[in-house]
Amino acid sequence: MAVLEVTGSNFNQEVLQSDVPVLVDFYATWCGPCKMLRPTLEQIAADRQDVKVIAVNIEDEDELADQYEVSAIPCVVLFKNGAEADRSVGLVPRDALEAML
């Protein structure tokens, strides 16, 4: 699977109602570390069938960013059964993201 770009209108369906755990990457286009992290998320999305990887652009979707109290990016929030289970802030290696799962 690829990294799916999500907005406020389908967040509920794609993230909160997902049957599998979801990693949500809150990012911005001006954020260098976010760009560096993206290939890692793409790899996870490609390699693992048991997780979904979603991206949320915080400039377009500032309400989602506010709602989940994102105040530093990259911020990857893990959702399980419709609720936040964990989060990781900053540029981290793949191991650190997978350790949350």
Partner 1 sequence: MTDIIIIGAGPAGMTAAIYARRAAKSVLVLEALSYGGQIINTPDIENYPVAAHISGFDFATKVYEQAQALGAEFKFEKALSVEDNGAEKIVRTAKNSYTAKAVIIATGSQNRKLGVENETKLVGRGISYCATCDGAFYRGKRVAVVGGGNTALEDALYLADIAEKVYLIHRRDSFRGEELTADALRARDNVELVLNSTVRELHFDKRLTSVTVADKAGNPREIEVSGLFVAVGRIPENSDFSAVLELDRAGYAVASENCRTKTPGVFVAGDNRVKDVRQLVTATADGAVAATEAIRFVNEH
- Residues making contact with partner 1 (CB under 8 A): 30-33, 35-37, 69-73, 75, 87, 89-93
C-alpha span between 2 and 58 (Å, rounded): 19
Burial of 30 (C-beta count, 10 Å sphere; 0-12/13-18/19+): exposed
The per-residue DSSP string of 19-60 comes to SS-EEEEEE-TT-HHHHHHHHHHHHHHHH-SS-EEEEEETTT
Task: Choose, from 3, 15, 34, 54, the residue flagged as catalytic.
Answer: 34
How far is CA 78 from its chain centroid?
A: 7
Q: Letter for the amino acid at 39?
A: P
Q: Which is nearer to partner 1, 5 or 33 (CB)?
A: 33
Least spacing, CB of residue 92 vs partner 1, in Å: 8
Instruction: Please indicate whether residue 34 is annotated as part of the active site.
Output: yes
Task: Choose, from 4, 18, 28, 31, the residue flagged as catalytic.
Answer: 31
Least spacing, CB of residue 69 vs partner 1, in Å: 6
Q: Which is nearer to partner 1, 10 or 93 (CB)?
A: 93
Q: Which is nearer to partner 1, 10 or 71 (CB)?
A: 71
Instruction: Please indicate whether residue 75 is annotated as part of the active site.
Output: no
Residues acting as catalytic residues: 31, 34
